[in-house]
């Protein structure tokens, strides 16, 4: 039977895996691991084996194209993801029946040994390996953060030296031979299976043989038959049974993952090869029993199955901000930093970057800028920068607040569009999501199917999440291309029907901005979606209720605002009366001649109504845009923005920078209708800010899955790390 399965498997692999990739070259670091790999490749010839003497040299070999893949622990995934190697995780180990792509880092001691976590100083320690997650990064990072290990940083001494001073002696494979960190090791102290005390089983053996007093391992390490002899050390200085790891652990850690070069075809080839091999009955990838005493060869023996990681997930997104922060705290790596007291604002595209660059010199205080600028091509790329500490804050739409929240960011200030409420604490700001059509077009909510649609952007609140949620409720079909014939929804895939009506930046050929979710796409954002309708590229536009009035009846907002900012009311009236004839038809070029009366609102169960009736004919009342940032710098961002809007907010004089006006576009950095920013109560999570109605709509829409961004998929991948 096995031979028949092997023939079938090889036939399948031969069919699916034609050129350009013919084999997966697996990198191994020990003789035992090479033996297992060789036995595996004999059964499944699509795999071959490459031997290097260390994990780092395997990472280098994969980068150089001399090998293709290997499975790494979180600490090594971090190293592999650095710019000089640029590898990415593509497949995760799963340790349970409910997609448990995490494990628990624990401190194991012998029962009755008589000390607690805060009494580890002077004890002997067993580690899985230098730079390993459960064996080094988590326990040492925890001891440093709790002040139990005194360490001021690498300018003071290497962290290894501080650890050596804290513990009496250790075995930390991978440390320098001849140091206290190798004193307890049984072999050569190398970070390979040639050191008997290496890895989880080795660290536990170090404890079992009384070489050490504590072993830092994962929660599944202690054999079932031995559990009664051991206990866990808890951070609250109590002890717990081995199986009580969910309540007594140091941290949750992302699972080991297969890494490779950033090559989509290679990644898919490796996944298909392993996915077929893991169900092949002739070889158990997740057992090292035949190679005892070695364990966890190629994969952890506790692996139940392999799970494909969402596309475009880099090492940082896979590991998560919390774990990466722990690694940085141990390595004392400095991410790009700002001047003292400054924050880095993330701008999307050229137009926003230009406005931000004008903000920086205006924000100078005492010779230093309070606002510095970072830029990225999309909002999701900006959110990644904020997570990586390469930027600090940006203002985003509610749908993007949802994604940011899934990635661990928090809303800290909200745009207020009613000037009368700016001085009112706790007055929530919101707007109405509406569907707009041309008057007398005959388009109603009931006959929308088959029409062309204009959206602010995929994942945006008024332009996508709210209307598509309604349409899903109507059609119960997640394929929205079956509902609309075509449209423009910036952020869609280039071959999507929702890119057909997009126009990009207006270049005749080779327009790289077509359908991109940035201001370079003329149909992006509120004004862009309305422009799409005005130009006849769509039959309906999904926007906010103020968009039409802001882009019709000849308004040139910058000129009007200039007059409004004049100190002399009499002079303003004279100038306004004198130039009123020029104002008509003097809006944006594309809006010349556009009159608000030529447009109507449509909504379920009603005939089209004038745009002024948005309170009775809308798709939803939704939360305003909000500023998001990392939790730990919340107070700094609020402080800086409060000072900035006092100088450059709605009351700024006409000759200075204005936060809430856009000279070369619409809604740059903030919505132009913003009157002020209001602080959101501390500790407010994204779900509370968005509200239950909005969260329910998002949950319903996420059932489709197709509209979930790659970033959100990456941030939501580890279900065991989700807090909701």
357-372 pLDDT tens trace: 999 999 998 888 999 9
| Helix ranges restricted to H, 584-629 | none
Q: Cβ(481)–Cβ(501) under 8 Å?
A: no
Task: State the pLDDT at residue 244.
Answer: 96
Task: State the pLDDT at residue 2.
Answer: 44
| Helix ranges restricted to H, 44-116 | 55-64, 74-80
Task: State the pLDDT at residue 528.
Answer: 95
Backbone angles phi, psi at 582, to 5 degrees: -80, -25
Task: State the pLDDT at residue 327.
Answer: 83
Give Dmax over CA atoms of the chain in angstroms. Answer: 96
Distance CA 138, CA 235 (A): 12
Look at the alpha carbons of 478, 272, 284, 60 in this order and tell me if their dihedral is positive or negative. negative
Q: Cβ(306)–Cβ(92) under 8 Å?
A: yes
Structure token digits, residue 71? 């499975």
67 SS3 class: coil
Residues of the chain with pLDDT under 70: 1-20, 97-99, 332-339, 425-428, 508-510, 555-588, 705-707, 720-724
Q: Which residue has the tokens 């926003």?
A: 352
Cα separations (Å) of 572 from 559, 583, 658, 673?
Answer: 11, 14, 19, 21
Q: Cβ(623)–Cβ(430) under 8 Å?
A: yes
Structure token digits, residue 268? 């898919």
Task: State the pLDDT at residue 334.
Answer: 53
Task: State the pLDDT at residue 706.
Answer: 64
Task: State the pLDDT at residue 591.
Answer: 81
């Amino acid at each position: 039977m096995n031979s028949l399965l092997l023939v079938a498997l090889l036939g399948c692999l031969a069919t699916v895996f034609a050129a350009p990739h013919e084999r997966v070259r697996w990198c191994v670091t020990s003789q035992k691991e090479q033996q297992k790999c060789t036995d595996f490749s004999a059964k499944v010839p699509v795999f071959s084996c490459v031997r290097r003497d260390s994990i780092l040299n395997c990472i280098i070999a994969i980068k150089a194209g001399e090998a293709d893949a290997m499975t790494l622990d979180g600490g090594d995934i971090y190293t592999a993801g650095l710019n000089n190697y640029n590898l990415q995780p593509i497949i995760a180990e799963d340790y349970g029946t409910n997609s448990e792509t995490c494990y628990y880092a624990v401190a194991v001691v012998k029962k009755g040994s008589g000390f607690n976590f805060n009494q580890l100083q002077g004890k002997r320690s067993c580690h899985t390996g230098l730079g390993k997650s459960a064996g080094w990064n988590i326990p040492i990072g925890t001891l440093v953060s709790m002040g139990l290990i005194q360490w001021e940083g690498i300018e003071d001494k290497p962290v290894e030296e501080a650890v050596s001073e804290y513990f009496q002696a250790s075995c930390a494979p991978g440390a320098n031979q001849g140091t206290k960190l190798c004193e307890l090791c049984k072999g050569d102290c190398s970070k390979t299976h040639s050191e008997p005390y290496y890895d989880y089983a080795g660290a536990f053996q170090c404890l079992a043989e009384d070489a050490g007093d504590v072993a830092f391992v994962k929660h599944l390490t202690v054999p079932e038959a031995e559990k009664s002899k051991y206990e866990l050390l808890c951070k609250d200085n109590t002890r717990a049974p081995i199986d009580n790891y969910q309540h007594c652990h140091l941290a949750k850690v992302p699972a080991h993952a297969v890494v490779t070069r950033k090559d989509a075809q290679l990644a898919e080839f490796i996944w298909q090869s392993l996915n077929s091999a893991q169900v092949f009955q002739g070889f158990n990838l997740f057992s090292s029993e035949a190679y005892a005493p070695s364990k966890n060869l190629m994969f952890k023996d506790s692996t139940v199955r392999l799970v494909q990681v969402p596309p475009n997930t880099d090492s940082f997104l896979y590991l998560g901000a919390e774990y990466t922060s722990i690694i940085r705290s141990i390595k004392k790596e400095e991410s790009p930093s700002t001047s003292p007291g400054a924050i880095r604002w993330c701008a999307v595209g050229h137009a926003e970057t230009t406005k931000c660059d004008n903000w920086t010199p205006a924000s100078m205080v005492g010779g230093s800028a309070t606002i510095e600028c970072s830029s990225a091509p999309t909002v999701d790329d900006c959110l990644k920068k904020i997570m990586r500490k390469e930027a600090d804050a940006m203002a985003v739409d509610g749908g993007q607040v949802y994604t940011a929240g899934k990635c661990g960011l928090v809303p800290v200030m909200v745009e207020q569009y009613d000037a009368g409420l700016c001085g009112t604490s706790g007055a929530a700001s919101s707007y109405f999501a509406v569907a707009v059509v041309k008057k007398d077009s005959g388009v109603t909510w009931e006959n929308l199917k088959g029409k062309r649609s204009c959206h602010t952007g995929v994942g945006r609140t008024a332009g996508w999440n709210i209307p598509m949620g309604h349409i899903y409720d109507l059609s119960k079909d997640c394929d929205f291309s079956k509902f609309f014939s075509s449209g423009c929804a910036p952020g869609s895939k280039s071959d999507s029907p929702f890119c057909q009506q997009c126009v990009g930046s207006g270049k005749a050929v080779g327009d790289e901005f077509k359908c991109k979710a940035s201001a370079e796409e003329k149909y992006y954002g509120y004004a862009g979606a309305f422009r799409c309708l005005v130009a006849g590229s769509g039959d309906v536009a999904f926007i906010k209720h103020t968009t039409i009035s802001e882009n019709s009846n000849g308004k040139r907002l910058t000129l009007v605002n200039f007059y409004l900012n004049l100190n002399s009311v009499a002079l303003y009236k004279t100038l306004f009366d004198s130039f009123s004839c020029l104002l008509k038809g003097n809006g944006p070029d594309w809006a010349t001649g556009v009159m608000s009366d030529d447009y109507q609102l449509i909504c379920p169960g009603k005939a089209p109504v004038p745009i002024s009736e948005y309170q009775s004919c809308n798709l939803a009342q939704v939360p305003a845009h909000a500023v998001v940032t990392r939790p730990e710098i919340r107070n700094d961002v609020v402080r800086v923005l409060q000072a900035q809007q006092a100088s450059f907010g709605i009351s700024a004089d006409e000759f200075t920078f204005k936060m809430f006006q856009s000279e070369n576009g619409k809604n740059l950095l903030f919505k132009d209708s913003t009157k002020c920013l209001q602080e959101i109560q501390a500790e407010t999570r994204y779900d509370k800010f968005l509200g239950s109605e909005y969260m329910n709509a998002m949950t319903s829409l996420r059932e489709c899955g197709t509209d979930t961004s790659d970033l959100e998929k990456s941030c939501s991948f580890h279900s065991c790390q989700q807090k909701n």
